[in-house]
Amino acid sequence: AQTVTQSQPEMSVQEAETVTLSCTYDTSESDYYLFWYKQPPSRQMILVIRQEAYKQQNATENRFSVNFQKAAKSFSLKISDSQLGDAAMYFCAYRRTQGGSEKLVFGKGTKLTVNP
């Protein structure tokens, strides 16, 4: 079974600085999707960024980018120019592409605090 590990329960960053959140995963498959979701106190999970495993180019979405290392099974999220509104729980998630269920498998999350 696939597992997703987020080794940093909490992280903090100063406003306008850069922070990197770590994620590793375990799979025997060659193609899959990886996602980062943000969950503010409102509880709604919001998609931040996604990456398909066969695409070597790292995904970027404005201030958010990933460092995808397929061989190392690592998928870290970099937030540049951090803003107060970035404070939230961040979850890394995995989804297989071939057969089986459509489900996402989530990590336990990293709580990000942004200090003014």
Partner 1 sequence: GAGVSQSPRYKVAKRGQDVALRCDPISGHVSLFWYQQALGQGPEFLTYFQNEAQLDKSGLPSDRFFAERPEGSVSTLKIQRTQQEDSAVYLCASSAPGYREPKGSPLHFGNGTRLTVT
Binding site for partner 1 (CB under 8 A): 4, 6, 32-33, 35, 37, 42-47, 50, 52, 91, 95-97, 101-109
Distances (CA, A) of 62 to 48, 70, 113: 10, 23, 20
Residue closer to partner 1 (CB basis): 50 or 73: 50
Task: Give the nearer residue to partner 1 in terms of CB position, either 19 or 92.
Answer: 92
Q: How far is the CB of 1 from partner 1 (least distance, A)?
A: 10
Query: Mapping DSSP to helix (H, G, I), strand (E, B) and coil, where does residue 85 land?
Result: helix
| Angstrom distances, CA of residue 95 to CA of 7, 59, 67 | 19, 16, 18
CB of 107 to partner 1, least distance (A): 5
Instruction: List the structure tokens of 2.
Output: 């696939």
Q: How far is the CB of 29 from partner 1 (least distance, A)?
A: 11
Rounded CA separation 26/45 (Å): 23
Residues forming a β-bridge with 35? 50, 93
Q: Which one, 85 or 102, has the nearer CB to partner 1?
A: 102
DSSP state at residue 27:
-
Residue closer to partner 1, measured from CB, 64 or 106 = 106
